Chains A and B, each alone.
Chain A
Amino acid sequence: MLKIEGLTAEVEGKQILKGIDLEVPVGEVHAIMGPNGSGKSTLSYVLSGREGYEITGGSVTFAGQDLLALEPEERAASGLFLAFQYPVELPGVGNALFLRTALNAVRKARGEPELDAMQFLKVARERLKALQIGEDMLKRGVNVGFSGGEKKRNEVLQMALLQPKLAILDETDSGLDIDALKIVSDGVNALRGPGFSALVITHYQRLLDYIVPDRVHVLMGGRIVQSGGPELAKQLEAEGYASVQAAA
């Protein structure tokens, strides 16, 4: 599904990603862990095409396409979704309108018919229920005045609606209490299957108890320094990143 080879990137002239190799096969969920400032969010932005993140080398293939050649909206249309570490507020833009516009943009790109307001509401209600989100969240401005937990749940709601091929979740667990963490994890697990892959970025092993990854990678200083199975996350939790650093 996703294949990253020798990827290097810089921000404002400073090299952040120093050669990343990573492959996420179709249907697999991989976790990326690493200390603050190691380049996890940078990787997610580079993959989703944010401006200001300059790629200086390497390649990324996604669903058979050269991902780096696509505009951000084209990447979204071809099935890449990023759950933001810090979801952005859009004052005055109704959440329902935003979600429907996004869903229809993606549906249009896939050659599927667009949904009208009524059809959308029907689909949205089902997802809201599954994620235990109140319907009033649809009426509010996008992320405006949302609590940290609400923002993260709104990201997962969008993911559930857009049904991406690859979801990158950037610290979606941080700031969530245990109940919310379960709800969010259920949302991700519900999508798991042969057509869905995920890259779960997290600090904490805790999330990985609910979303059990196929592989765990440790990102430090802009490189993946170690990869392993779910047990690697447990080891990190117990011994800290210093142990990995020593080993690397």
Chain B
Amino acid sequence: MPAVTETIDTVQSVTEGTYKWGFETEIEMEFAPKGLNEDIVRFISKKKNEPQWLLDWRLKAFAIWQKMEEPRWPAVTYPPIDYQDAYYYAAPANKVKPKSLDEVDPELLRTYAKLGIPLKEQAILAGVEGAGDVPAEGGRMPIAVDAVFDSVSVATSYKERLGKEGIIFCAISEAVEKYPDLVRQYLGTVVPQGDNFYAALNSAVFTDGSFVYIPKGVRCPMELSTYFRINAKSTGQFERTLIIADEGSTVSYLEGCTAPMRDENQLHAAVVELVALDDARIKYSTVQNWYPGDAEGKGGIYNFVTKRAQCRGKRSKVSWTQVETGSAITWKYPSCVLLGDDSVGEFYSVAITNNRQQADTGTKMIHVGKRTTSTIVSKGISAGRGQNTYRGLVRVAPTASNARNFTQCDSLLIGDQCGAHTVPYIENRCMTAKTEHEATTSRIAEDQLFYCRQRGLSEEDAVGLIVNGFCREVLKELPMEFAVEAQKLLQISLEGSVG
């Protein structure tokens, strides 16, 4: 048998991962009736005690959505989604904020424990009053967590400590109540209601998500983190996140996601809006590990997400880093609109597709301000029958004199039944702007695997090492703790070496 064929067979046999995070929590849920209509939108808004302006905003979004068509241009295929056959609101029934750990549903705490959320104190996570004052262990930088359990943000930690700096970090529904002016000023200004089909849907029915405001000149003293998790059957998750970094402020935000194993597909359509004013910096890191479906392609999350940042201020900077290992289908283009002169946009991405996973992901960099610069580094890894598409747009407006973009897209193929595609669009309308694009496609070579194994590494460890090497430029952008987690995840999602 030729060496190459045999290697492919062997690699295939080790690439069928099983999902480590597939468990389900049995706690009492409160559902809205199935289906989507104006009444459901009103129901959600009422449940959340929202002001009239927000209800009107949602209804407008719903009206727009009804006239829109699902996009068909991404290089992904899936059976038609019946939007009337899903629940649009699911919340743990016990919604009164707990006063102590005893009052927290133990099932919920177990879920967090299983999720491995980087939290030492369960009390903090569960939002027990005063628990956020516990000092961080071992002098490490603490992480503030806002956990979204299905649709309701259950707990927000470290709130008080952040409050001392004037930082607001809470559930968006809480922000609507407490800081309505801020929310109203910024909501939908980066991703308008009618931006696209899924953004419109999200605008109509979003149930929770995080809100962050960093005041002028404040450097956020800790990483802010949200762990998303889809639990209830047939619920879509529509969280909406809004981050505003005022002049001269800095924030690093982490987003991690898991979901239980299920046979049917679940829809996840989130919207994330970032606003950076003069000299502000936002670093947004995602490790996405939604359930990808089984080896035959049954089940898994449909991840249709709109993420966009506006660098409104001069010299502002937004950096997106994503490690996408999960979901049956990923449709996601974290983007930067570079309005302020000398503003900077960055996109670092690792996307893995294994078995029957499909990913159509990339970024948009829209240069408007003078001397704006953007960097795109995309690493796509396909194994099994996975299909991986990088889709990117670099648009330079005539106003963006001396703008610069550098794009690098690398694809790694494992086996011969997967696919990698690169679709870069460049629209440069400015004579003095420069754009550069580099692309490579490679395979894990048999000689690389053999070299590692001759040195004592197992085949799985060899694949892990080579893949991590391939992704190094992206992984080094992640905050330290997240990077370690991401490396493990890459290996697990490729190898099936669970636990």
**Chain A contact residues, CB within 8 Å of chain B:** 12, 48-54, 71-73, 75-77, 81-82, 84, 87-93, 97-98, 101-102, 105-106, 109, 141, 158, 162
Contact = CB atoms under 8 A, between A and B. Distances in A.
A71 B10 CA distance: 13
8 contacts: A51-B450, A52-B2, A52-B4, A73-B459, A76-B456, A84-B451, A88-B445, A92-B470
A62 to B, nearest CB: 14
B328 to A, nearest CB: 28
Contacts of B445: 88
Contacts of A97: 465
A84 B448 CA distance: 12
Q: Which of B4, B455, B456, B466 has the most CB of A within 10 A?
A: B456
Given A51-B3, A52-B3, A141-B469, A88 B451 contact: yes
B456 A109 contact: yes
A90 B469 CA distance: 7
Contacts of A50: 3, 450
Contacts of B3: 50-53
A51 B455 contact: no
Given A12-B2, A73-B456, A73-B458, A93 B451 contact: no
Interface in B1-58: 1-4, 6-7, 10
A72 B469 contact: no
B185 interface: no
Interface residues of B, number: 30
B448 A105 contact: no
Contacts of A81: 454
B473 interface: yes
B177 interface: no
B447 interface: yes
Interface string B411-455: 000000000000000000000000000000000011110111111
B457 interface: yes
A102 B6 contact: no
Interface of B: 1-4, 6-7, 10, 445-448, 450-459, 461, 465-466, 468-473
B472 A90 contact: no
A239 to B, nearest CB: 35
A97 B457 CA distance: 12
A10 to B, nearest CB: 11
A105 B446 contact: no
B456 A52 contact: no
A105 B456 contact: yes
Contacts of B465: 90, 93, 97-98, 101
Contact of B466 (A54, A87, A93): A93
A77 B469 contact: no
A98 B464 CA distance: 12
B460 to A, nearest CB: 10
Contact of A101 (B448, B454, B457): B457
B456 A106 contact: yes
A51 B456 contact: no
A97 B471 CA distance: 15
Closest 7 CB pairs of A and B: A52-B3, A92-B469, A93-B469, A105-B456, A102-B455, A92-B472, A88-B451
B446 A51 contact: yes
A102 B462 CA distance: 10
Given A76-B453, A105-B455, A91 B446 contact: no
Contact of B456 (A49, A89, A90, A102): A102
Given A72-B450, A93-B468, A77 B456 contact: yes
Contacts of A84: 451, 454
B306 to A, nearest CB: 31
A73 B453 contact: yes
A55 to B, nearest CB: 13
B469 A52 contact: no
A12 B447 CA distance: 16
A72 B453 contact: yes
B451 A87 contact: yes
Q: Which of A82, A88, A106, A141 has the most CB of B within 10 A?
A: A88
Given A52-B3, A105-B461, A71 B469 contact: no
Contacts of A12: 2
